Amino acid sequence: LRTAPLALFALGLAACTASPVADLQPGTRPALDTDEAGIWMAVDGIEERWRTSGHRLHDPALDAYLHRIACRLSPEHCQGLRVYVMEHPYFNAAMMPNGAMEVWTGTLLRVADESQLATVIGHELAHFERRHTLQQWRSIRSKATLSQVVNTVGGGLIGLATDVALRTSVLAFSREQEREADALGLARLPAAGYDARDGAEVWQLVVDEDRHIETPAAAVFLSTHPTPADRLASLQTLAADLPQPSARPAEGPGLAEVIAPHRLAWLEREIRRQEPAATAWLLDELFARGPADAQLHFARGELLRRSGSAGDREGAVAAYKASVELPDPPTEAWRSLGLMLDQLGRKDEARVALATYLREAPDAADAPLIATMIEGMP
Amino acid sequence: MVRSPRSFAVVLIVIALAACSSTDPRTAPGYDAAAPVPARITGATVLLLPADVECAQVTAGGVAQPMAAWTEAARANVRNALEATLAERGARLVEYDGAAVDPARAHQHERVLKLNEAVGTSIYFMQDYLPTKRAVFEWSVGEGAKTLAEDFDADYALFVFLRDSHASAGLVGMNVFKGIVGLAFGAPVPIVSGVHFGFAQLVDLETGNVFWFNKMYADGPGSDLRTPGEAAQSIDRLLTGCPL
């Protein structure tokens, strides 16, 4: 048992002297006999699952748009980057050490402008360039060895305490990497033509949304990431010292244009995630950004309709009416309006709304059902 | 103390205990351990799906480190062994090549391939535990398999999944260390490595049903996928009872 501190000390020294990891060289794959090549091999398999995933959104224009932002932020690694858009209604993105990046549709629905999106992408690119996965892997490997030695010699409480200490240190290292990625990513914005002050505000969205999420987050020392409020504060501080953005060449379509074909589906998916308070906050946020919009009114109606409370039915009707009075309303707004009015006993208005739905969407799968409903109305 | 004969004996016993191997062939439709091996399928064309093979090195801390160079060698060895073994048995082989087909069809194939692997993994882990599956061997990847039959003009598809792990020098040292400490203070459990396991699955492409399945587990010498000879032995064992 007396050997335990000695072994700890020896392995601690070994871990400390581990050589630092240099940044990834653009256009290179790791040599086949390295631990990094093993990691790349494993994540190549994960990328193949991303590529063929049922959650993947296949839109070449959107992929190209995101790739273009990534290339502006990291011109030297442009050739080695691949972007996959995944249909998940949450704010998230992820980077793999082989240059594959996934961006969730919830992120694209939430960001206010391209600089906020660039902040997210820049953060992921920093993980890639700094080879964070490799660093974390090597750190876990040496900590696991240390844990084995201590558990063999010490066992019991000493072993347990060491395990807890090592596991918390893995998480602390992960949070340190996140902070580094935040700072390095943000620093790339000005040269790419984005205002870092605008970009940093993306974390305000996360802070605000978290206030409306029903499931509380885990304590920070159990988390792989710093808290959104910490990240917002440090990014705002960093952004204040960054230079003004350089001019950005106008190339290709902008954010609003590339997400337009998908926005209605993303709003519907957002509602289905069953976090009504957070969705209500998001809709308010999107309303506050621009002129009234038929899709947003429709989404608000859908959210109210699903609340199940009688008081929200009138609100839903008002939202649907606001939607259909604007240009290009979703055809479903007519259907939802008709069904809601029917529930409220306003049969004449309901019939008109449902008839409009049938006229607008004669080939809809539920058209025969709606037609039967209209016939049955007094 | 390190050279004590007693500690060597302990380590040797640990290794000897660990060394074993087993295979467990199953055939549709009804599984019966006493059932004879089905007649050989003759004249059929077999589509060889890309094998899922990975090699890892288990470090002193028990972490499985994926090894790219070993995996590359193992994949080539497995493929060569499959081709040689099946050619010997007289099967007509076609290799799956997603790049050779229309992208829309390739997308359909990808779905079947993923489902096929998911079904195989389920059989591997669940066959003996699910009450509805224990008595009868009845699994299918569904009619999507027909797209493979059509595009490759094949009757059956053969899929092989293999995982291979080897101890690092550090782990060998760690286990010796654990053996020595075990003599003095108790019995710390050694970290197991040198494990080779996987499955082979033969699917009838007309119906999508899994026609034959075998799983293999080995943790002794003689199953190292990195060497052509031992990979061939592993494949031979994996194809025990295969009607091809």
Q: What is the rounded CA–CA span in Å between residue A120 and residue B216?
A: 45
- pLDDT of amino acid B2: 33
- Residue B10 pLDDT grade (very low, low, confident, very high; cuts 50, 70, 90): very low
Residue A42 touches partner B, C-beta closer than 8 Å: yes
| Residues of A (125-164) whose Cβ lies below 8 Å from B | 140-149, 151-153, 155
Q: How far apart are CA A204 and CA A229, in angstroms?
A: 8
Using CA coordinates, name the residue in chain B closest to A30: B68
- Chain B nearest-CA distance from A46, in A, is 12
In chain B, whose CA is at the least distance from the CA of A33? B69
Tokens representing residue B158 in the block: 């053969």
**Cβ B19 vs Cβ B221: under 8 Å:** yes
B36 by Cβ neighbours in 10 Å (0-12 / 13-18 / 19+) ranks as exposed
- Selection from A332, A293, A300 nearest residue A316 by Cα: A300
Residue with tokens 């990891």: A21
- Residues with Cβ within 8 Å of B21's Cβ and at least 6 positions away in sequence, in order, are B216, B217, B218, B219, B220, B222, B223, B237
> Which amino acid would we find at residue A291?
P
Q: Would you say residue A10 has pLDDT above 50?
A: no
- Complex-level ipTM: 0.80
Question: What's the number of CA atoms in the CB half-sphere (13 Å) around residue B61?
Answer: 17
Q: Which of B63, B68, B110 sits opposite A41 (nearest CB)?
A: B68
Quickly tell me which residue has 């998230």 as its tokens. A92
**B201-214 pLDDT, tens digit each:** 999 999 999 999 99
Cβ separation A52–B178 shorter than 8 A: no
Q: What is the pTM of this model?
A: 0.86
* pLDDT tens digits, A276-292: 999 999 999 999 998 88
The per-residue pLDDT for range A328-339, each reduced to its tens digit, is 999 999 999 999
| pLDDT(A253) > 60 | yes
CB B150 within 8 A of CB B109: no
Q: Amino acid identity, residue B179?
A: G
Tell me the nearest-neighbour CA distance from B54 into chain A, angstroms. 9
Strand residue runs (E) in A58-201: 82-86, 93-95, 100-104
pLDDT digits (tens, 9 = 90+) for A118-170: 999 999 999 999 999 999 888 888 888 888 888 777 767 777 887 788 888 88
pLDDT at residue number B39? 62
Size of interface A-B (CB pairs under 8 A): 67
Prior bond of A216 cis (ω within 30°): no
Does residue B92 belong to the interface with chain A, where contact is any CB pair within 8 Å? no
Q: Give CA–CA dist A41/B131, Å, rounded.
A: 37
Q: Where are the beta strands (DSSP E) in chain A?
A: 82-86, 93-95, 100-104
Residue range B156-178, pLDDT digits in tens? 999 999 999 888 888 888 888 88
Determine, for residues A147 and B174 on separate chains, whether the beta-carbon distance falls below 8 Å: no
Nearest to B2, CA basis, from B173, B147, B127, B139: B173
CA nearest to B52 within chain A? A45
CA distances from B184 to A316, B2, B177, B179 (A): 75, 12, 11, 9
Q: Of A106-115, A132-141, A315-324, which range is least confident?
A: A132-141
B contacts of A1 (beta carbons < 8 Å): 185
Question: Of A131-140, A210-219, B10-19, where does mean pLDDT reach its minimum?
Answer: B10-19
Give the pLDDT mean for A293-317: 93
What pLDDT score does A171 carry? 85
For residue B30, the model assigns a pLDDT of: 43
Reported as a single tens digit per residue, the pLDDT across B86-138 is 888 888 899 998 888 888 899 899 999 999 999 999 999 998 888 888 888 88
